[in-house]
Amino acid sequence: MGCCQSSLFSRVKETENNPLEKQPQQQPQPYQQFHSTATNETEKDFSDPSSFTFSEFSLSDLKSATNNFSSEYIVSESGEKAPNLVYKGRLQNQKRWIAVKKFGKAAWPDPKQFVEEASGVGKLRHPRLANLIGYCCDGDERLLVAEFMPNDTLAKHLFHWENQTIEWAMRLRVALYIAQALHYCTSEGRPLYHDLNAYRVLFDEEGDPRLSCFGLMKNSRDGKSYSTNLAYTPPEYLRNGRVTPESVIYSFGTVLLDLLSGKHIPPSHALDMIQGKNNMLLMDSHLEGKFSTEEATVVVNLASKCLQYEPRERPNTKDLVTTLAPLHTKPDVRSHIMLGIPKQEEAPSTPQRPLSAMGEACSRMDLTAIHQILVATHYRDDEGTNELSFQEWTQQMRDMLEARKRGDYAFRDKDFKTAIDNYSQFIDVGTMVSPTVFARRSLCYLLCDQPDPALRDAMQAQCVYPDWPTTFYIQSVALAKLNMHKDAADMLNEAAALEEKRQRGARGS
């Protein structure tokens, strides 16, 4: 690929400058209202059933997909302390990511029971579920494979948010979509859901909330169905240790409390507030009053009904949907916009050559991992790209290097907009050209959802340092963000080839 005169760069510029070349992306239609008896035709409107085939996976395939179950691939919120870990992975030559739940050795001692249970859950297919797509039952190993949801959990967005809290309309959407998922499961003869909580609600590529399919199976044949604090456990489960459909409704009520308050409030405390007519004390202060009091009252009342001590006094899943559906007042606003997150794009297909840590991070478009690698690498790759004479160490030079230092501090601290400003000051002076600064600013642009300048910076870095694999890797991510997936895959392979050539040279010397 040529340097700054590349045909790819020309195509990008032509697309920017010629509006006729920019074809508007077809926007998916908002989900239709979900009814109690979903027909096959309604299902087709939501998703393509042919893309979900429940199957058995080999242990070697899942090991390869998760880098031999590397700790770096663990995505379960509880981390390594959880008895059953969840990993993300990607099957060879597949673009779609998967989630793999790995049970402890004592779980599901009877392989036949495990396969039967997994197959039953695997028959469910719905856009409100993170669907189960397969299993592995090999010797003592018991694993489930599901669709991977890249945008974290409801718990992360509600309790541990960094950029913005969830707006009221999105909280109502979460409540409705999870109610629809539960109602669908009930209508398909799978009414039991184990330990429903904010960690079981996941957000997909579009930012739409989905219910994890893993909760439809117990942790093991004899395992506990609830791992949460006793204060949030259905009272009847404490009495007899059995999960019933009414227990699921109780747990749904605790999720409603989470959505109302933005905190994990014990149901007994919340009911005291509700009975004392102090409904507004429940509301999340981070909403800053930006919610409908009437809608909030409806949700509070529904939560109160779900949390009734006597199971028979709780509503059923149809009641949940009927109550929440009229509150879904922004059906045309995309979920990722309401969440304030960039829409996730498909990663480039896996290249044939083995990838380095940087290559792996770029192939899965893991911007956080790329950032960590660039921070750790510092400026080692700039060695030999600049030779400065003594005369060049002027005050202007010192100011420029100070700007770079400020940019580095901001980059390290993930203040990417400030990093862009300071790196721009360094670049604009032009006395010293640093491929690392271009690469870092490129990643900052990607993290700020600006793929066009990100691509330009990565290409500029390539001009300075034509054989540096990192510039090609970052270009592949920017191209994928621009929906140029064929070019992204080619760039990823070119980077891997450069890296392989460099490694052969190092061995030869």
Active site residues: 195
Query: Dihedral angle at the C-alpha atoms of 300, 303, 305, 311, nearest 10 degrees?
Result: -170
Distance CA 337, CA 442 (A): 23
Please give the structure tokens belonging to residue 507.
Answer: 């061995």
Find out whether 377 and 473 touch, Cβ atoms under 8 Å.
no
- Spatial CB neighbours of 193, under 8 Å, sequence gap ≥ 6: 182, 185, 200, 211, 215, 216, 243, 248, 251
- Spatial CB neighbours of 4, under 8 Å, sequence gap ≥ 6: 459, 460, 463
Closest C-alpha among 208, 150, 201 to residue 333: 208
Find out whether 287 and 295 touch, Cβ atoms under 8 Å.
no
| DSSP three-state, residue 311 | helix
Q: What are phi and psi of 202, to 5 degrees?
A: -120, 160
| DSSP three-state, residue 289 | coil
E strand residue ranges, 250-327: none
Tokens 């270009």 belong to: 475
Distance CA 98, CA 62 (A): 10
Query: Dihedral angle at the C-alpha atoms of 180, 186, 191, 196, nearest 10 degrees?
Result: 0
Using alpha carbons, list the distances in angstroms from residue 178 to 31, 242, 243, 457, 494: 14, 22, 18, 42, 43
- Spatial CB neighbours of 490, under 8 Å, sequence gap ≥ 6: none
Please give the structure tokens belonging to residue 111.
Answer: 């392989």
DSSP 350-416: PPSS---HHHHHHHTT-HHHHHHHHHHHTTGGGTTS----GGG--HHHHHHHHHHHHHHHHHHTT-H
Any idea what DSSP says for residue 87?
A: E
Q: Residue 84: what residue type?
A: N
Q: Compute and round to an integer the Cα radius of gyration of the chain.
A: 26
- Spatial CB neighbours of 508, under 8 Å, sequence gap ≥ 6: none
Distance CA 480, CA 232 (A): 43
Q: How many other C-beta atoms can be found within 10 angstroms of the C-beta atom of residue 301?
A: 13
Closest C-alpha among 153, 171, 203 to residue 328: 171
Across the chain, which distance is largest between two alpha carbons, in Å?
Answer: 85
